[in-house]
Structure 1
Amino acid sequence: MLRKYSIKIEEEQQPTGKKLFRIIKLLLEEIQKPESKVLVTDFSSILISCEDIKDIKAGGKTFTIPYYSETEKGPRDNAKSYQIKVQLDETLPISALENYLTHPTSQYINRGKMVQALNIFLNYYTKDSSKYCTIGTGRSFPLDEKSSIIDLKYGLVAIKGYYSSICLATSRILANINVSYGMFYESKKLEVIMKKYYTESRWDDPTLRLLGKFLRGVRIEYSCKDKAQNPIRRRFRIHDLASQDDGMTDKGQKTENSSVVKRYGAGPKEVSFWVQDRGKYSTVFDFFEKERNTILDTEWPVVNVGSRQKPTYLPAQLCTILPGQRAKAEGNTGQTTTMIGHAVRNPVENMEDIVSHGMKAVGLCKDENPMMNRYGFRVPDGKLITVKSRVLPTPTIRYSQGKPENQTRWNLNFKSLRPPSDSRKWSCRVLRMVPHDERALELLRQCFKMLKNNGIEIKEQLPPVSINVRGSNEALKRDLSRVFKYEAKGIDCMIVILPDSSKALYNQIKRLADKEYGVTTICIVASTLTGQNSLGGLAGNLALKFNLKFRNNNQSVDNQSLKDVIDLNKTMVVGIDVTHSPIEHAPSIAGMVASIDAQLGQWPAVLRRQKEKGAEMVEQLEDMLKTRLQLWGSRYKRYPENILIYRDGVSQGQYDHVRKHELPKLREACTKLYPKDDAPKITIIVVGKRHHTRFYKQSTYQANGNNPQPGTVVDRGVTEALNWDFFLQSHKPLRGTARPAHYFVVHDEIFRAKFGAEAANKLETFTHSLCYLFGRSTTAVSICTPAYYADIVCQRARCYADDLPGLEDFEVHDRLKNTMFYI
């Protein structure tokens, strides 16, 4: 019998993060003796025990916990105490779980809570250990294994760890373990990290700004001795490097006796602060010389561990970056590439790693984790399970002209995207960013000529127009606005040659072009043109993009895989996704794409800003679906009989929410458009790609890494009998371990009614075929096309959000509304 207890801290201002973790750890020390540990926790709000906590009666018990940090031996005289109430919420009998596993059709009310309790048990081992850093609920990274740590330079390291969770399958409980990599701050002396940014024996302002951004929010330990040689150890979070703005109020005024800083990133002799008991200013250098008997190196910037209004300064040489801190800022291109190079491994390597090290690392070995014995848990053999699979046939792909394809990767050789009757020439103009590479324009023009091979004719209108990107943001915006307003008149497309892959510049272009001026744009980084050995592949990619942006279809799939399953003249296929805004505290963004014809070639999109930050359920779903139905209806002069929805961005715990809250909104949209008693049939399938289930072929080692064959479906062994879900690996990865997509049917009115016992097979075939319709590629993609497009349109919305204050909406210009502007 497992007992689930709730933890409630009786404080108006609830502690969070590391402080909450420490408070609950102190609570555990109060409740149980070290030799009889039976409690595990999520270090947030839940305690799990395999025995009764005898002191806690029916109404619960309140504990008084004085707070002290890891660096202190005990609470100080003036330490803050927390009142924490622990109360028994419910008991979870293992016998009921066993009965559910033996008889899946039996009603087991606490199924979800039992899985939650088992996962709290599993994750407690690494969360409680100082040898690991844990991220979220299931990822853990060893901090003391040098073989797992990869230097990424400039103060970052990649650490190889493991994801782990408990899940239920038909007649058994499974532990899901996978290799995982994370990017962390390097745990070294702060001055050592600063040296990595120190170039040519000097500090310049741009480098200091870069260093300040890198260190913001990083936790450090400050260690020194006072005058009496007593050790001082304190932990802080870096606010910033010392700055002239320190001591400034929100209104831009300096506070009384505010610090004096000569420049951003100033050293200890250039930063002075007011010493209250002396009634005068002192430099950081003088203070540490007199009060701490320490002579500081004047080279390294001083860090502010207070706030902008009330700064507190510490020297770099007395501070150490604490281990296990995930890097919040993204690494640069080189760092990311290095990490990916280590993370991309074939399935056999990952399998051997999981069996040899992963089980031990996540605490599933009795020798490592004494709680396994206390709870009576064991893993029978420590081997990966074997499941049966089947391989779906590869659909036949066709273009307007050319030989059909029947493989997972193909090319556009001798294929035309448009029928012979269509002889249109698309007019474009080139926009170059100064400084630019002269070769890029000539190579682009060569690509234009090659596009004719695929039936796309591009006619360059007027000479290229140039913009200098080295000026201010205001000047850049003004110049771009002029180009889009006046220079883009009378053309079908503006092709922009970018000097580099700067996100800020790309975002500015897309925001102005898509939202304010309604100009179709295609951006190409100059190095993509100049670095190509052959322009053929690039020209093919451009042909695909041009054709989709000009409202044409690219490839189609033969009828037996799609139209023979569902009548696409009566079915609208929809993709939905939600993404978080790149702006802190800003609401999430929802995107929806939908097919408009039976060929499933064009998928116009609609975007909406959510009301709340972090909202993963679509709030304006009714309005969004209405716009797609009206567009579909404008083509067919009627509304679809079937609406098949692939919903991305939903975790397993939110499946019921989709059914209970999103489905009614979809129905309401239909009620307002359809005749009475003529509602369409709706099926909703959740597409999961952020999961940790992987498969490999059980055979001798192969050069391609033992990835399953594209089209592999697994719907037994790792799924539950009462659920309708399946894993589908539709693509062939260039390298590494393939990640299959997970499809979970949360509601169905289409397939079971039509196909009965064959419904699962038909849905799997249809979904697999959709993976071959991604118009921007000549490969089968890893998730079905509607979900993929919905993800891309949400990423485009992040470009707008990056430069938008407040709650401005995300609607694009009227000229682009019914196009695939996001491609």
Structure 2
Amino acid sequence: MSASGSRGRGRGKRFSRSATGPPEPYRSQSMAIIPEKFHQLNIDNNIPSRPPSFSTTTTTTTSSGRKSNGEQRKSTSRSSNGIIYLERFSRSATGPPEPYRSQSMAIIPEKFHQLNIDNNIPSRPPSFSTTTTTTTSSGRKSNGEQRKSTSRSSNGRAKSTRPFRETIRSAVPESAIVTFARRPDQGGSAGYKLKVNTNHFKCNIPQTLHCHQYDIELQTANRDGTWRPSKKDDRFVVLRKIIERENFPLVWYDEGKSLYSVELLVGLKDQYEITIKDKKSDREQTYRLLIINLVKSYDIQVLWDFIENKIAIRPRDPIRILETLLKQTTRATMVSVKNQFYDRRQTLDDLGDGRGLAGGFYQAMFLTKLGATININSTFTCFYQPFNLVHFLCEYLQHDIVRDGINDREQQLLLRKVLKPIWLETHHGENIRKYRIRGFGASARQHTFARVVDGNSDDSQERQSVYDYFVEKYNIQLEFPNLPTVELYTPPNKTQFHYLPMECCTIQAWQRSIKPLTTDQRARVTKKTVVNPTHRYQAIMDIVKTRKFNEDKYVNEIGMSIVDDQMVTVSARCIAPPEIKYKSGRDGQSDIVERINIGKWNLRNRFQTTKTINRWACVMVSSQKPNQNQLSIAKQFIDQFPLIISQYGIYFNSSPIMNSDPANSETIHNRLQELKEQNCEVVVFILNGVGEDIYKLIKYFGNQKLGIVTQCTDFVAIAKNIRSKKLDMYLQNLVQKFNAKLGGVNGMVSLARALTSSSTKDDVFMFFGADVTHITCSREKPSIAAIVGSVDSTSTQYASRVGEQYPARGKISLEIIKDLYQMSTDLLKLFAQRNHCFPNKIVFYRDGVDDGHFQKVLDNEIRALQNACKALYLNNPLPKITFIIVKKRHNTRFFIRDPQTGNMNNVQPGTIVDTDIVHPQGFDFYLNSHAAIQGTSRPILYHVLYDEIGFSSDEIQSLTYYLCHSDVRCTKAVSVPAPVHYAHLAAYQSRDADSYDNDRSTTDDFDDNDLVENVGAVTLQEVETRLIQLDPTIQDTMWYV
């Protein structure tokens, strides 16, 4: 019952870009937050100027005889106010093409990439050779050629490799080029002070403690006397039995290849064997432990050195060793998912598609200003139910497969969406065997193979069905012989396949599922997991009580202890919210400040800037033909829509073009095409009983193919609000997005009020937000990288650039945004086009970065951004950059006790913690900017990694808090700054960009000057990217809101 086969995968073509001339710049009249005086633009030649601190004559001759930029300019002139205006370039007819085609690339001539000899601005070639075999200056061959050779050990034997389940490798080399910013003061002082409880527990670690790491291997005996690596599920049990039998000193194990101890294991043998009887089959199995060598010894004193600012680098290995020790007593009854633990004895809360929800806890060690702490939090995650495969597939497909069967489309869906990464178990033989699934075969009655005689099979012999084989071999009468068999393999052997009946396979228990939840499942999970602060506080205290840290034998043996079983109390401050200005009066000429109350404010006045719409349409898209009542409700909405939104300053000069269409791709495309030809500026879609796929189609056609603004709204929500006479409240949220997409400004937040000492009135700020969404690590589903940048004087309108990042081969992680140079270049140009100047200060908020990737992201992305500025600013002073990591996924929570009831409450919006539990040296802080609608609020942790601007703690905290109030989608403070939220929205909206577009071509214009030199087997050039192009009329709008 075996087969073999191989597969191959093609790679998409790379495309080359042709050079295009820049369009004429848009001449903006507004420069509000910071004056027009700085960086004025000479409109005649589109060259930005900067205040002078440099010579205006820079005549240099390049190696080719061409004179440099300084001499190409005809002359310079200085105005009475000291601002330099640069004369026109003498443009050459040739030059490298632009790295990223967009309608917004306006200001800089085509030759801006050429090398400026005076200031060493690197040139960027238009394309790169795909040949990877080169020789470095040291004579070392590059990655392309190195991979062809075989790695050999010192004794000349080829080293073995593990072909299956390689760890996720990084395409970004390790580096430490840019130093992290340090806290500029003792913390902020603005706002009123208060005390809050946090779910950290102070622990005591002996400073004299030493730990030793040993490299070990656990192996299982084969029948022929050879040995194979033991399965992960067996290792901990086997090692524990050997330790007990041999009376080892205190040791602890990471379930991989490392054993730790506080004593040197000098008296132990190199090898131990043990035979263990399987409880089910009563069969004995022999294992052995190999203690290979002492890898390293660690002095735990380095933890205290870091806390006391004696060393700069966080000692990750000693922390990992102590965290591994804390996990030892939970291994017997708990499933470990990194630092999360789930009790195996619990019953999963069924979610209806073969998955269930489990409750557990998070536990991790932190080094803070206060010292070492243990962070504890209650957690939930999804696991696959340990169902029989037949039951599992019925649950997933939502129908009875025994009665209905599984068609080819469903088989492909199952393989693509759920089955391939899942482990299956079989229990019909003497031993439990584990497999992965490759595909489906014929039914057990129909699938035949050559009968096995004396362990051999031959195709010329009599053939036997799978059904007959199970009757003959195992005396099992299959219950569902007409269901397809499953084609299985045992990793790492992918050449031998086994065809087994579905009913003989079971989903292995406690396999975590990271698939997205459906809308109904999210609602069920939210109901279970969202708990108020009092209940969460009590759940955490119950976890600490159950864990009994100070009774843990491992903790006691090394002299470690939890100082107090109560949460740490820390100092906090609550700062004031910003001012938000709208337009008041019938003519909308005067400003009015809305009052913010607990993170919210009312929308009672006109927007700051709006647009009059000359032609628009409303289309109702329905899954079934709408009845008269539904059409009547849609008509009421269309009649009231213009009247209600006119209150905010948006006017329509015509009645809408009205249509009702069925929900299919061709009809939607044709309708939008027709409306585009009729010069419609915006189309409002009423979605009646349709799924998310129709919404995605509308956005795809509107944003990418046809270039027409679309606004979708839900029919059920409209009907509900019309019946309750709350349509005006519903349209408040809709109209805010509507105005932003049309280029308007809703409310204006006075960001300048946050800046006191680090900035002047002449500074021109630009704000960036960036995020990388990792859908999965595969060629089929790339990561989505999105960057947004403010492009108007109020820092309210943001343009976006989005790209896909494809792993080169296998599982290769790319933590950085590879095309950040191209994306930021384009956004800087757009800023200058609209504001007649470049910014002199850039604040960059970066989301989606784990702690271990801070250095890589900082080194590579700062360099790429700086190179983009060098290429655009030429000889002018470069902008100062502040780079901030925004960390949402952490487990620190804050609680404040009500003095009257004793219950725990959420902290107020504006609460900041920048003492006690923060980094001992770094510039970080917690900010809770929003009011939680339900459950316990989660503060955001901000790490200021790079700060050329020189913000004080109060300034960067206030600026960040103010930006949380500038989100155009709502009238409340959100949990993260608006540019971060916009980047996330742009990435999320683009996650299916290639589902409708088969152009999987990739960019090949990446320059090593933007990134640290690579030193691994995987280069950044091998990580392919595709910049997602929208229609030119949509590209630079806020289409993603």
Question: Which range, TM-score by smaller chain?
Answer: 0.7 to 0.9
What is the alpha-carbon distance in structure 2 between the residues aligned to residue 524 and residue 54 of structure 1? 72
Alignment of 1:168-179 (within 5 A): 168-179=367-378
Q: Indicate if the aligned counterparts of 1:430 and 1:460 stay in contact, CA closer than 8 A.
A: no
Unaligned runs of 5+ in 2: 1-209, 220-226, 585-591, 1003-1025
Q: Indicate if the aligned counterparts of 2:766 and 2:795 stay in contact, CA closer than 8 A.
A: no
Q: Indicate if the aligned counterparts of 2:777 and 2:813 stay in contact, CA closer than 8 A.
A: no
Report Cα offsets for 1:544-575 as digits up to 9, x if no partner.
11100001111112466446675586111111
Q: Could you say if the C-alpha distance between residues 652 and 74 of structure 1 is closer, same or farther in structure 2, counting changes exceeding 3 Å?
A: farther
Q: Indicate if the aligned counterparts of 2:623 and 2:690 stay in contact, CA closer than 8 A.
A: no
Amino acid paired to 2:532? N
What is the alpha-carbon distance in structure 1 between the residues aligned to residue 544 and residue 410 of structure 2? 40
Match of 1:349 among 522, 529, 535: 535
Deviation at 1:600, TM superposition (A): 1.7
Report Cα offsets for 1:201-220 as digits up to 9, x if no partner.
93365796577765554333
2:634 matched residue in structure 1? 441
Q: Which moved more, 1:38-47 or 1:678-687?
A: 38-47
What is the alpha-carbon distance in structure 2 between the residues aligned to residue 568 and residue 221 of structure 1? 68
2:342 matched residue in structure 1? 141
Q: Indicate if the aligned counterparts of 2:390 and 2:401 stay in contact, CA closer than 8 A.
A: no
Deviation at 1:234, TM superposition (A): 2.4
Alignment of 1:100-249 (within 5 A): 100-101=306-307, 104-107=308-311, 111-126=315-330, 128-129=331-332, 131-135=333-337, 137-146=338-347, 149-190=348-389, 192-193=391-392, 196=395, 197-198=398-399, 202-203=403-404, 205=406, 217-224=421-428, 231-239=430-438, 242=440, 246=441
SS at match of 1:158: strand
1:548 matched residue in structure 2? 740
Q: Could you say if the C-alpha distance between residues 195 and 641 of structure 1 is closer, same or farther in structure 2, counting changes exceeding 3 Å?
A: closer
Deviation at 1:769, TM superposition (A): 0.8
Report Cα offsets for 1:707-735 as digits up to 9, x if no partner.
00111101111112311111000100111
SS at match of 2:538: helix
2:557 matched residue in structure 1? 374
Q: Indicate if the aligned counterparts of 2:927 and 2:941 stay in contact, CA closer than 8 A.
A: yes
SS at match of 2:878: coil
2:1039 matched residue in structure 1? 821
1:289 matched residue in structure 2? 471
Report Cα offsets for 1:760-819 as digits up to 9, x if no partner.
011111111111100111110001111111111111221214445534431222111211
2:203 matched residue in structure 1? none
1:306 matched residue in structure 2? 488
Q: Which moved more, 1:304-313 or 1:529-538?
A: 304-313
What is the alpha-carbon distance in structure 2 between the residues aligned to residue 502 and residue 84 of structure 1? 56
2:1028 matched residue in structure 1? 810
Report Cα offsets for 1:69-94 as digits up to 9, x if no partner.
997878879x9x9x978443332212
Report Cα offsets for 1:719-766 as digits up to 9, x if no partner.
1231111100010011101000111110111134xxxxxx10111111
Report Cα offsets for 1:168-200 as digits up to 9, x if no partner.
011410111111111112234445546654559
Q: Indicate if the aligned counterparts of 1:194 and 1:300 stay in contact, CA closer than 8 A.
A: no
Q: Indicate if the aligned counterparts of 1:683 and 1:748 stay in contact, CA closer than 8 A.
A: yes
Q: Indicate if the aligned counterparts of 1:697 and 1:707 stay in contact, CA closer than 8 A.
A: yes
SS at match of 1:515: helix
Q: Indicate if the aligned counterparts of 2:594 and 2:601 stay in contact, CA closer than 8 A.
A: no
Report Cα offsets for 1:224-267 as digits up to 9, x if no partner.
36xxxxx4432334455x4xxx3xxxxxxxxxxxxx44xxxxxx
What is the alpha-carbon distance in structure 2 between the residues aligned to residue 75 and residue 280 of structure 1? 35
Q: Could you say if the C-alpha distance between residues 19 and 548 of structure 1 is closer, same or farther in structure 2, counting changes exceeding 3 Å?
A: farther
Q: Let me know the Cα RMSD of the aligned residues.
A: 3.8
What is the alpha-carbon distance in structure 2 between the residues aligned to residue 453 and residue 222 of structure 1? 67
Amino acid paired to 2:326? L
Q: Indicate if the aligned counterparts of 2:804 and 2:1027 stay in contact, CA closer than 8 A.
A: yes
Tell me which structure has the larger Cα radius of gyration. 2
Q: Indicate if the aligned counterparts of 1:222 and 1:233 stay in contact, CA closer than 8 A.
A: yes
Amino acid paired to 2:910? G
1:327 matched residue in structure 2? 513
SS at match of 1:597: coil
What is the alpha-carbon distance in structure 1 between the residues aligned to residue 482 and residue 392 of structure 2? 10
1:43 matched residue in structure 2? 255
2:790 equivalent to 1:595: yes
What is the alpha-carbon distance in structure 2 between the residues aligned to residue 95 and residue 281 of structure 1? 70
Q: Indicate if the aligned counterparts of 1:431 and 1:494 stay in contact, CA closer than 8 A.
A: no
1:3 matched residue in structure 2? 212
Alignment of 1:726-765 (within 5 A): 726-752=925-951, 759-765=952-958
SS at match of 1:168: strand
Unaligned runs of 5+ in 1: 226-230, 247-259, 262-267, 470-475, 753-758
1:404 matched residue in structure 2? 594
2:878 matched residue in structure 1? 679
Q: Could you say if the C-alpha distance between residues 53 and 121 of structure 1 is closer, same or farther in structure 2, counting changes exceeding 3 Å?
A: same
Match of 1:784 among 959, 962, 977: 977
SS at match of 2:718: helix
Q: Indicate if the aligned counterparts of 1:454 and 1:540 stay in contact, CA closer than 8 A.
A: no
Report Cα offsets for 1:556-606 as digits up to 9, x if no partner.
124664466755861111111111245833442221111122322101111
What is the alpha-carbon distance in structure 2 between the residues aligned to residue 304 and residue 291 of structure 1? 19
Q: Indicate if the aligned counterparts of 2:616 and 2:657 stay in contact, CA closer than 8 A.
A: no
1:767 matched residue in structure 2? 960
Deviation at 1:271, TM superposition (A): 5.2
Amino acid paired to 2:820? L
SS at match of 1:720: coil
Amino acid paired to 2:645? L
2:307 equivalent to 1:94: no
Q: Could you say if the C-alpha distance between residues 108 and 56 of structure 1 is closer, same or farther in structure 2, counting changes exceeding 3 Å?
A: farther
Deviation at 1:162, TM superposition (A): 0.9
Q: Which moved more, 1:176-185 or 1:153-162?
A: 153-162
1:417 matched residue in structure 2? 607
Report Cα offsets for 1:277-330 as digits up to 9, x if no partner.
484444444333333222332388455151699753444554443321122433
2:851 matched residue in structure 1? 652
Amino acid paired to 1:538? Y
Q: Could you say if the C-alpha distance between residues 17 and 743 of structure 1 is closer, same or farther in structure 2, counting changes exceeding 3 Å?
A: farther
Amino acid paired to 1:54? V
What is the alpha-carbon distance in structure 2 between the residues aligned to residue 697 and residue 773 of structure 1? 27
What is the alpha-carbon distance in structure 1 between the residues aligned to residue 777 and residue 851 of structure 2? 26
2:84 matched residue in structure 1? none
Deviation at 1:645, TM superposition (A): 0.8
2:266 equivalent to 1:54: yes
How many residues align? The count is 761
Q: Indicate if the aligned counterparts of 1:588 and 1:616 stay in contact, CA closer than 8 A.
A: no
What is the alpha-carbon distance in structure 1 between the residues aligned to residue 229 and residue 889 of structure 2? 24
Report Cα offsets for 1:14-54 as digits up to 9, x if no partner.
x9999456568757766885643633344345443222232
The structure richer in helix per residue is 1
Q: Indicate if the aligned counterparts of 2:618 and 2:686 stay in contact, CA closer than 8 A.
A: no
What is the alpha-carbon distance in structure 1 between the residues aligned to residue 229 and residue 616 of structure 2? 56
